[in-house]
């Protein structure tokens, strides 16, 4: 059995060595290589490998699944960066900034096809894998569309927000685990429980991210906190505060939205606390985490084999056990 930290460098090495892009046209494939070498935590593909190793030695099919998932994830990042007009990713210029819009669109397109090309190499349970992958891929697009829509709306409910982050963030984590299980030949029931583990873990992780962006210690995050507040992002904290606020508090929040800059962060944090939004957010993180752990417990395999996935969940949710 391998831990997450064992598998990340193993994935990195094999992924880099087997990138499918040819040399020509360089205008298409050079930007693809640029973007992929920006790195990333590689959580999704490594989860696919870990789910596979729950049931068997990590096999070729799991590697194809992991490569396909990582290529697909990067395709969505490239296109999201265009839609979000983001200049930087991981401290480096985004693809469409370094090259141009055409490259941004087309490199994303071709990367998504290469993702399918990796998935298509899978031999075990290919129709099931394709069905899971397609469903997820469609949901990720829907999640991004909802995220864009919400920027234009002032009446987003918490339920809609949870649905959006589930589509945009969780389903691909969940699908990675499911594919790792399916290609091991694991029963559908185990694969579905791993899917639910990933789906709940993803929401817990995203809500924790919302919380830490506001209340986290700067040294822990490696970035200034309050970024979401400065950007007027409609996070769980913001939406919950609006929901719980009395008339005076709501007016205060609406006033703060009109101001730009970091000055407003302390006032908004005070409102998150005064309305009780912070406590609700902590509670939601705890609930989704609990659900995630119990789904993992339900997977019908010896507990010892689940240790690496448990540790990864602990790490993502910043838990000491």
* Contacting residues toward a copy of itself, per CB under 8 A: 25, 27-28, 79, 82-83, 101-102, 105-106, 108-110, 112-114, 116-117, 120, 126-127, 130-131, 134, 137-138, 141-142, 144-146, 148-149
Q: Which is nearer to a copy of itself, 141 or 274 (CB)?
A: 141
Task: Return phi, psi of residue 188, to 5°.
Answer: -55, -35
Q: Which is nearer to a copy of itself, 147 or 209 (CB)?
A: 147
Nearest approach, Cβ of 225 to a copy of itself (angstroms)? Answer: 29
Nearest approach, Cβ of 229 to a copy of itself (angstroms)? Answer: 24
**What contacts 181, CB < 8 A, 6 or more positions away?**
51, 52, 54, 55, 190, 191, 194
Nearest approach, Cβ of 49 to a copy of itself (angstroms)? Answer: 23
Closest CA to 68 of 25, 122, 105: 122
The tokens for 139 are: 């949901």
Q: Which is nearer to a copy of itself, 79 or 238 (CB)?
A: 79
Tell me how far apart the terminal alpha carbons of the chain are, to the nearest angstrom. Answer: 20
Nearest approach, Cβ of 13 to a copy of itself (angstroms)? Answer: 25
Q: Which is nearer to a copy of itself, 142 or 298 (CB)?
A: 142
Query: Could you identify the residue written with the tokens 């962006």?
Result: 213
The tokens for 18 are: 């087997």
Closest CA to 272 of 231, 229, 220: 229
Nearest approach, Cβ of 260 to a copy of itself (angstroms)? Answer: 23
Nearest approach, Cβ of 223 to a copy of itself (angstroms)? Answer: 26
**What contacts 189, CB < 8 A, 6 or more positions away?**
300
Q: Which is nearer to a copy of itself, 6 or 160 (CB)?
A: 160
Helix locations, the chain, DSSP H: 4-17, 26-36, 43-55, 60-83, 95-98, 101-119, 126-151, 158-165, 171-182, 188-215, 218-221, 227-230, 236-244, 247-257, 265-275, 277-298, 303-316
Q: Which is nearer to a copy of itself, 160 or 311 (CB)?
A: 160
Neighbours of 41 (CB within 10 A): 9
Largest Cα–Cα separation, the chain: 62
Nearest approach, Cβ of 23 to a copy of itself (angstroms)? Answer: 12
Q: Which is nearer to a copy of itself, 75 or 288 (CB)?
A: 75
């Amino acid at each position: 059995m391998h831990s997450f930290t064992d598998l990340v460098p193993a994935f990195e090495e094999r992924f880099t060595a087997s990138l499918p892009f040819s040399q020509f046209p360089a205008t298409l494939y050079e930007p693809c290589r640029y973007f992929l070498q920006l790195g990333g935590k590689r959580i999704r593909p490594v989860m696919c490998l870990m789910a596979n190793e729950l049931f068997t030695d990590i096999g070729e099919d799991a590697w194809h699944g992991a490569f396909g998932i990582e290529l697909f994830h990067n395709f969505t990042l490239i296109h999201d960066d265009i839609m979000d007009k983001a200049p930087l990713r991981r401290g480096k210029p985004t693809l469409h900034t370094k090259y141009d819009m055409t490259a941004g669109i087309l490199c994303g397109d071709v990367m998504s096809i290469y993702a399918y090309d990796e998935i298509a190499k899978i031999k075990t349970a290919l129709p099931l894998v394709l069905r899971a992958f397609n469903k997820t891929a469609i949901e990720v697009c829907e999640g991004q569309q909802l995220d864009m829509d919400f920027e234009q709306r002032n009446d987003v409910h918490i339920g809609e927000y949870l649905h959006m982050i589930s589509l945009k963030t969780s389903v691909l984590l969940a699908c990675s685990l499911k594919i790792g299980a399916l290609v091991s030949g694991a029963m559908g029931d185990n694969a579905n429980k791993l899917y639910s583990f990933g789906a709940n873990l993803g929401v817990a992780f995203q809500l924790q991210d919302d919380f830490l962006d506001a209340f986290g210690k700067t040294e822990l995050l490696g970035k200034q906190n309050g970024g979401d507040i400065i950007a007027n992002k409609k996070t769980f904290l913001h939406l919950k505060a609006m929901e719980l606020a009395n008339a005076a508090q709501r007016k205060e929040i609406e006033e703060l939205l009109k101001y730009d800059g970091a000055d407003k962060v302390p006032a908004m944090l005070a409102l998150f606390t005064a309305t009780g939004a912070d406590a609700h957010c902590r509670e939601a993180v705890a609930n989704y985490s609990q659900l995630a752990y119990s789904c993992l417990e339900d997977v019908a395999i010896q507990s010892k084999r689940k240790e690496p996935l448990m540790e990864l969940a602990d790490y993502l949710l910043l838990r000491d056990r």
